[in-house]
A and B are shown apart, each in its own frame.
Chain A
Amino acid sequence: EVQLVESGGGLVQPGGSLRLSCAASGFTFSSYSMNWVRQAPGKGLEWVSYISSSSSTIYYADSVKGRFTISRDNAKNSLYLQMNSLRDEDTAVYYCARAPIWFGESPIPNWFDPWGQGTLVTVSS
């Protein structure tokens, strides 16, 4: 069974940092691109960041560019999101989500299936 389990969320003050993790199992993690998607309380979904299987291709939403860093460790079947300079508006449930395997075609195929259960990040003083 494919499974994604996020961890690392919590309460942090504005300007602070937090590192989220996503543990993957049930599939060949090193073959798949991955994403982070977030959802503010009572709001819709927002794509945050994408990383290819080899980490060679990375994209960020404008709202987090320069503050968040996505990374992965294929030996540990793990995905990470380092979040710095956190703002009130970063408060959300953060989901990791698998993307399809990318064979180098353009445009990059990207959809989200499956998703983890999410981890809540609260930025507040």
Chain B
Amino acid sequence: SYELTQPPSVSVSPGQTARITCSGDALPKQYAYWYQQKPGQAPVLVIYKDSERPSGIPERFSGSSSGTTVTLTISGVQAEDEADYYCQSADSSGTSWVFGGGTKLTVL
């Protein structure tokens, strides 16, 4: 079955830039999406179609794509950004959707 690979954890100090990667063979052909999940809460969409930002999401959140890897970048990280982040995409058939294993962002 298709898999998306994320690093288990990323740590940054406040004000620095955090980059979370997600790798998958179908990513050159399928859009990627990113979700933020804080403890005890439902996930929230922060990036769609690789690099689009939904209304209400701060400008410090951005997304990019290069080949089989997509990246979520959080510029000027704030304490409130500490959360789990999940990438999501479709497999090559486009009829099954998968999540990466999640990355725990720690703000030091």
Contacts and interface: CB of A to CB of B under 8 A. Distances in A.
B33 A108 contact: no
A44 B54 contact: no
A50 B54 contact: no
B42 A116 contact: yes
B7 to A, nearest CB: 13
B94 A107 contact: yes
B43 A45 contact: yes
Interface string B22-42: 000000001101010100001
Given A44-B86, A62-B1, A115 B96 contact: no
A113 B102 CA distance: 18
B102 A110 contact: no
Contact of B95 (A108, A116, A117): A108
Nearest to A108: B94
Interface residues of A, number: 23
20 contacts: A35-B97, A44-B86, A44-B99, A44-B100, A45-B35, A45-B88, A45-B102, A47-B88, A47-B99, A59-B96, A62-B1, A95-B43, A109-B31, A111-B31, A111-B33, A112-B45, A113-B54, A116-B42, A117-B42, A118-B42
A44 B42 contact: no
Contacts of B45: 111-114
Given A62-B1, A112-B43, A114-B45, 17 more contacts: A44-B86, A44-B101, A45-B86, A45-B88, A46-B99, A47-B88, A47-B97, A59-B95, A59-B96, A61-B96, A62-B96, A108-B90, A108-B94, A111-B48, A114-B42, A115-B44, A116-B42
